[in-house]
Amino acid sequence: MKKNTWLLIGLAVLLVAGAAVVLTSPAEAGKLEEAIAKTPVGSGPGMIHPDMPKGFMGIPGAPTPFWFWGILWGIWVGWIFSTVGAFGGIMAGVGHISVFGLANYGASFRQTSPTMNKLLTDSIRTSNQYLVGLSSLMSSITYYRMGRLVLPLGLALAIGGVAGAYLIPVLTAGKISLKSYVGYFGLIVLVIGCFLFYDTTPKGQEKKKKAKAAAQAFQEAVKQKADTATQGVQVKSWGLTRVSFTFFGIEFSFNPIWPVLGGFVIAAISAFIGVGGGFLYVPFLTSVTSLPMYVVAGTSALAVFISMVTSIFTFMFVKGTPIDFLFVGAELVGIAVGSVIGPMTSKYIPDIWLKRLFVVLAIYVGLGYTIKGFAGVSLFPGL
């Protein structure tokens, strides 16, 4: 790994550590203290006993995720997001909901303390977005340097995304129960997974001849160890109704109005379920704009980063949502590492297999959480 790559990881780690130290105290105050005060005192399910050891967010008796597992999970989340431009928030959600046991803990307050139940839901949503926010920032920089980010398209998506990312937290913070959150989380992911599955079939691929040609040209350059950055994205024209660019000699174009509208809808849905939105940006970019996966990941990452900054700000500073900065900080260290590795490895994975990886994860996670949220049955391991 190059020296400046390790420098980038080091700076990210220092940034995370500094944020954890500075911002840990607010998580113990405000809404969290109010929610604890409204929760029955005791040692049973749905109760809080002040003498029990402090766990997640400093709540007595809450799960205490081990920081090292947080780093390892962060590496996986950072790698998968930076590789396909999606599933960072969803995998972050899988970690917080299932791997670290926060969903079952939060669900125990459904009857005894609805305030605590909904606060933990919002905390999970916001924590997911912190992980995706860092990964999308690092991925955007890396892919831009590689010539695999369509800047005007990413900005158009982000412009629409700002409004959606602000509006949904304002309207839904403190109003969504954990059970409903898990169910809707799964249903939306499942629908998108089925849609993209069609996109990988021969019939779905028929309409994407230019994307296939560009992907094949890129793969051939990688095999020959050529300088892919010089043949990467080159914007030819900017306009209010048409933007054109080339990728490995193949020209693509789009009307900026559609990405702006799409960005608004995608960011709104993403903010609702507490993810980055890459799992929606990827189908939009591959199906609506017919781009090859090799430029989709970076373009998606830029749009995700801007909407994540907006959504995190709204959740934390407008709605006062607390999170556990010490544990999230450990996860972010892993995110930094995984987000550097992802762009380096993705170029060796065929375009169609990047899509299939997306589909497999979407169906597994989507079906599992849909059934768990609405039927209360854990169908698959790890969910």
DSSP secondary structure of 19-85 = HHHHHTGGGGSTHHHHHHHTSPBSSSTT-B-TTSPB-GGG-BT-----HHHHHHHHHHHHHHHHHHS
Q: What distance in Å separates the CA atoms of residue 281 and residue 155, rounded to the nearest whole number?
A: 13
Write down the pLDDT at residue 24. Answer: 44
Q: Where are the alpha helices (DSSP H) in the chain?
A: 3-23, 31-37, 67-84, 88-94, 102-107, 114-145, 151-172, 178-200, 202-205, 209-223, 257-273, 278-283, 293-313, 325-346, 351-375
Write down the pLDDT at residue 1. Answer: 47
Per the listing, tokens 């169908």 go with 379
Query: pLDDT (tens digit, 0 to 9) for every residue of the chain, 383 residues total?
Result: 455 555 555 555 555 545 544 444 444 457 888 889 899 999 888 999 989 999 999 899 999 999 999 999 999 999 988 887 777 888 898 899 888 989 889 889 989 999 999 899 889 989 998 998 899 998 898 899 889 999 999 999 988 888 888 887 777 777 767 677 778 878 888 887 887 787 777 776 666 778 888 888 888 888 888 888 888 899 999 888 899 999 998 999 999 999 999 888 888 887 777 677 777 888 888 877 788 888 988 898 898 888 888 888 888 888 888 889 889 999 999 999 999 898 888 878 887 787 788 788 888 888 888 888 788 777 776 66
Cα–Cα distance list, 167 to 136, 315, 319, 348 (Å): 21, 10, 12, 39
Strand partners, 253: 244
Query: Cβ(126)–Cβ(321) under 8 Å?
Result: yes
Residue spans of the domains in the chain: they are 3-375
Share of the chain above pLDDT 90, in %: 25
Query: Cβ(193)–Cβ(359) under 8 Å?
Result: yes
Write down the pLDDT at residue 234. Answer: 92
Residues near 69 by beta carbon (within 8 Å), at least 6 away in sequence: 99, 100
Write down the pLDDT at residue 77. Answer: 93
Write down the pLDDT at residue 362. Answer: 81
Q: What distance in Å separates the CA atoms of residue 82 and residue 233, rounded to the nearest whole number?
A: 18
166, 305, 295: which is closest to 233 by C-alpha?
Answer: 295
Residues near 97 by beta carbon (within 8 Å), at least 6 away in sequence: 103, 124, 182, 185, 369, 383
Q: Which amino acid is at 236?
A: K
